[in-house]
């Protein structure tokens, strides 16, 4: 493999014009030019750039590294700095960047119009830290920092983009913005300062293991939010698809969110809103409350308390549901869906319904009992039950 090395300072563009070659800028060397400091030609392919020294480019359209050749790999060492209007500018396929130094773009730290793999353990900054297209994968490691005056990361025409953060991502207007349609994943294990704004496709925003100082905004279409903080702010607009919150903590749905699924084993509470919500409990003893819509509430495992609120609500009780209670059950409006093998109609459970004080018990054996609080057995009949479950989150 042919190797090229720069050991001393230079003030002219370094042109990368070979195929499958190694190009190294040594630690104490600096390239400082007007326009483009390093130019990877479109006729080149498969080159490895090891940038251990500094790269500086001046001018209104300056680029520290311009990549036109496919399958380029760029390594930026921890003592290296790239400074230009666009730190790294790419229009070629198959770009891989491993940054352990500093990329400082006056406009964009990294600007790629083709899918790229970007791993950061240093700092990347600019008016926009990273602007990339869908199918890109961005991994910010525990000691990495990506920042932007408008946004730290901007995924344009997003489709199947993945952002994994273990360090710090911060933006003055937004931390992460995704536009366009398609499925995108944001997974946070570190700290994100600023809003996370999804696009017009199916986005998954997972903040369970990290901290977000801002709102989660999924955008149009159906989105999934995975959270572990009851104070997480989620903002959705009306008509933006059927959105689901999967929560490892107690949570109350804000407006325009449809489904709430409690996860884990904690004794959490779940609260709906004015939509027609689907609310699931977890393995703990949950308190589940609908809102103003026609809700479906399923306690799942644990000894759960359920209340549908206003509207015509459906309560789901199933095998291994343990001891669940329903308050505010309204005969003629609310329904109970029973999911038990061998119990397919009201006649199958009728002899299991009994009055106990002010409450009605439906005892299904094997430790499973549903209690209708403050209900008279005379007000319970076949019209209150379903035996086929058709709604799910």
For residue 82, the number of C-alpha atoms closer than 13 Å in the C-beta half-sphere is: 38
Based on the domain organization, do 244 and 170 belong to the same domain? yes
Based on the domain organization, do 334 and 295 belong to the same domain? yes
> In this structure, are residues 377 and 353 in contact, taking their beta carbons and an 8 Å threshold?
yes
Distance CA 61, CA 288 (A): 57
Based on the domain organization, do 124 and 215 belong to the same domain? yes
Based on the domain organization, do 203 and 268 belong to the same domain? yes
Instruction: Give the end of a domain, one of 232, 260, 285.
Output: 285
**47 has a pLDDT exceeding 60:** yes
- Only one residue has tokens 């500094």, namely 54
pLDDT of residue 355: 98
- Minimum mean pLDDT range among 33-37, 236-240, 250-254: 236-240
Residue 350 is given by DSSP the state: G
Give the whole-number percent of the chain exceeding pLDDT 90: 92
Residue 379: phi and psi, rounded to 5, are -95, 10
Q: With bands split at pLDDT 50, 70 and 90, how would you rate the model's confidence at 240? A: confident
Q: What is the pLDDT of residues 273-293, one digit of tens each?
A: 999 999 999 999 999 999 999
Q: What number is the average pLDDT over the span 371-383? A: 97
Residue 340 is given by DSSP the state: B
Q: With bands split at pLDDT 50, 70 and 90, how would you rate the model's confidence at 367? A: very high
Distance CA 59, CA 357 (A): 84
Using CB atoms within 10 Å of the CB of residue 280, give its burial: 0 to 12 exposed, 13 to 18 middle, 19+ buried.
Answer: buried
Q: What is the pLDDT of residues 166-204, one digit of tens each?
A: 999 999 999 999 987 888 999 999 999 999 999 888 899
Residue 246 neighbours by CB distance under 10 Å? 21
Q: With bands split at pLDDT 50, 70 and 90, how would you rate the model's confidence at 157? A: confident
Q: What tokens appear for 169 in the block?
A: 């991502």
25-41 residues labelled b (16+ CB within 10 A) or e (exposed): beeebbbebeebbbbbb
Residues pairing with 147 in the sheet: 125, 170
**354 has a pLDDT exceeding 80:** yes
Structural domains in the chain (count)? 2
pLDDT of residue 1: 80
* Euclidean distance between the first and the last CA atom of the chain, given in angstroms as a whole number: 55
CATH code at position 292: 2.150.10.10
Instruction: Give the end of a domain, one of 285, 305, 337.
Output: 285
Based on the domain organization, do 51 and 187 belong to the same domain? yes
Q: What number is the average pLDDT over the span 210-224? A: 93
- For 346, the enclosing helix (H) or strand (E) is helix 346-349
Based on the domain organization, do 251 and 341 belong to the same domain? no
Distance CA 159, CA 225 (A): 18
Based on the domain organization, do 234 and 325 belong to the same domain? no
**391 has a pLDDT exceeding 70:** no
- Minimum mean pLDDT range among 9-13, 127-131, 199-203, 302-306: 199-203
Q: What number is the average pLDDT over the span 100-125? A: 98
pLDDT of residue 229: 97
Could you tell me the residue range of the domain that residue 389 belongs to?
Answer: 286-393
Q: With bands split at pLDDT 50, 70 and 90, how would you rate the model's confidence at 69? A: very high
**390 has a pLDDT exceeding 70:** no
Distance CA 276, CA 278 (A): 7
> In this structure, are residues 342 and 366 in contact, taking their beta carbons and an 8 Å threshold?
no
Nearest CA to 136 among 109, 151, 158, 120? 158
Q: With bands split at pLDDT 50, 70 and 90, how would you rate the model's confidence at 218? A: confident
pLDDT of residue 116: 98
Instruction: Give the end of a domain, one of 268, 285, 302.
Output: 285
Based on the domain organization, do 189 and 222 belong to the same domain? yes
Based on the domain organization, do 270 and 307 belong to the same domain? no
pLDDT of residue 353: 98
Residue 87: phi and psi, rounded to 5, are -60, -55
Kindly write down the DSSP assignment for every residue of 105-162, as one continuous string: EEEEEEEESS-EEEEESSEEEEEEEEEEETT-EEEE-TT-EEEEEEEEEEEET-SS-E
Distance CA 106, CA 176 (A): 18
pLDDT of residue 181: 80
Distance CA 56, CA 54 (A): 7
- Look over the chain and give the mean of its residue pLDDT values, rounded to a whole number: 96
pLDDT of residue 393: 52
pLDDT of residue 239: 83
Based on the domain organization, do 280 and 355 belong to the same domain? no
Based on the domain organization, do 344 and 292 belong to the same domain? yes
Q: Whole-model pTM?
A: 0.93
Based on the domain organization, do 25 and 113 belong to the same domain? yes
């Amino acid at each position: 493999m042919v190797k090229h090395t720069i050991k001393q300072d230079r003030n002219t563009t370094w042109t990368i014009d070979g195929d499958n070659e190694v190009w190294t800028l040594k630690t104490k060397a600096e390239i400082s030019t007007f326009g483009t400091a390093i130019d990877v030609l479109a006729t080149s392919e498969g080159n490895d750039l090891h940038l251990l020294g500094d790269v500086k480019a001046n001018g209104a359209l300056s680029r520290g590294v311009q990549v036109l050749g496919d399958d380029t790999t760029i390594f930026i060492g921890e003592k290296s700095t790239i400074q230009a209007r666009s730190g790294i500018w790419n229009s070629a396929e198959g770009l891989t960047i491993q940054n352990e130094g500093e990329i400082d773009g006056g406009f964009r730290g990294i600007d790629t119009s083709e899918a790229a793999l970007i791993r950061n353990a240093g700092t990347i900054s600019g008016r926009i830290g990273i602007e990339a297209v869908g199918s890109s994968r961005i991994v910010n490691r525990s000691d990495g920092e990506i920042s932007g005056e408008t946004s730290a990361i901007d995924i344009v025409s997003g489709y199947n983009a993945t952002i994994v953060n273990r360090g710090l991502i911060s933006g003055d207007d937004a931390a992460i913005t995704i536009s366009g349609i398609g499925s995108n994943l944001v997974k946070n294990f570190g700290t994100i300062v600023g809003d996370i704004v999804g696009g017009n496709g199916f986005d998954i925003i997972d903040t369970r293991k990290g901290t977000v100082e801002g709102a989660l905004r999924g955008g149009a279409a159906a989105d999934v939010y995975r959270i572990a903080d009851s104070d997480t702010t989620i903002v959705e607009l009306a008509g933006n698809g059927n959105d689901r919150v999967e929560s490892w903590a107690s949570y109350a749905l804000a407006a325009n969110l449809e489904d709430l699924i409690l996860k884990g084993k904690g004794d959490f509470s779940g609260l709906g809103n004015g939509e027609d919500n689907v609310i699931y409990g977890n393995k703990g003893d949950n308190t589940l409350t609908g809102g103003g819509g026609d809700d479906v509430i399923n306690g799942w495992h644990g000894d759960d308390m359920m209340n549908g609120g206003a509207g015509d609500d459906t309560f789901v009780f199933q095998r291994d549901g343990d001891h669940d209670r329903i308050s505010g059950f309204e005969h003629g409006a609310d329904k109970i869906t029973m999911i038990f093998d061998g119990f397919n109609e009201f006649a199958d459970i009728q002899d299991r319904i009994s009055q106990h004080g002010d409450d009605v018990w439906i005892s299904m054996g094997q430790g499973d009992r549903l209690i209708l609080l403050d209900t008279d057995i005379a007000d319970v009949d076949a019209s209150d039950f379903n035996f086929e479950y058709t709604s799910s989150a």
